[in-house]
Amino acid sequence: MPAIDLTVVLYRADMAELRKTLLSVASISTEFRRLRILVSGSDEEFSDAVDAVKELAMTDSTSVYHRYDNIGFASGHNALLQMAFAEEAQFCLVLNPDVSVAPGALSSLVEIGAEAASTALYGPALERQEPESMPDRRFDSNGIVWTPSGRHFDADMGEVWSIVERRVRSVAGLTGACLLVSSAAYDSIIAKTGWFFDDVFLAYREDAELGVRASSIGLESRLVELSGFRHVRSVRGAQRGRRLTDLLGVRNRFVMLFRLGRLRPGSRLGAALRDAIVILATLTVERSSIPGLRSAFRIRRYLGYTSRVRT
């Protein structure tokens, strides 16, 4: 069996959801080598995460790291991935603390991903974790899709769950909530583009940008239709109203533009019109996102000068 590590980044985590995730991870303990958790926050938050690991008797197969500052999803997973691959992991599963994995699902994903580990990133179709009162199974993500206006969404979100088990297809990107990375793909992306996740993003949209950047050097994003991966979704589709998420959404739209230039998906006219609408709406309606807009424009030259793929 290949050496597989799991990476989880925590910042103000919902401990009830985290325990569900850890319970599912404990049920697949024979399918991976090590769980690596980075806790950004107080001593109490770190202690809560350690206690949750101890409750499930996972201490021997888990490493929990602590930082007082929040370095974000992108930098947090970059740090964990670097440690895992330095210790000869062959695959890493980037995992949100609100995703559950059923027994056998990870092994199936790795088996499929191993067939072309050096030329692609892999991720499973994610099922939405709905309340028990909801009768129908629904998609949470079936890969990432882009619109002509330069927006991206999780494909089929909210649609009735329907898959062909183990079917693999190429998509524009994969959600960072559950992403399988081989050491070969990781090394190639860093060597040719400079980094894995882009640290500048902090959180939100970094998975979509990764798909574009990987594609620019010939690495596909491959969606695997598998049962067994379920995600609790707190923000759905184009839903707004969460202040930090909205701010980061505005900021990172323009971070992506300045990083990727013409590589950013979408038509030039459609994306430019959407850019103008976002700026106008931020300045007049969603003024709480103005700091995010300012942040992106303040570092626009840095973003362009340090990008290896911008055209």
Q: Which residues of the chain have pLDDT under 50?
A: 236-237, 240
Q: What is residue 14's predicted lDDT score, i.e. its pLDDT? A: 85
Q: Which domains, ranges and CATH numbers included, belong to the chain?
A: 4-231 (3.90.550.60), 243-306 (no CATH)
Q: What is residue 302's predicted lDDT score, i.e. its pLDDT? A: 96
Residue 18's nearest CA partner among 38, 34, 33, 32 is 38
For residues 202 and 74, give the distance between their C-alpha atoms in angstroms, rounded to a whole number: 6
Q: What is residue 55's predicted lDDT score, i.e. its pLDDT? A: 87
For residues 175 and 211, give the distance between their C-alpha atoms in angstroms, rounded to a whole number: 9
Task: Report CA-CA distances (Å) from 311 to 52, 210, 298.
Answer: 47, 16, 20
pTM (2 d.p.): 0.93
Output the six-digit token pair for 204: 């939100």
Task: Report CA-CA distances (Å) from 50 to 18, 44, 45, 56, 280.
Answer: 11, 10, 9, 10, 45
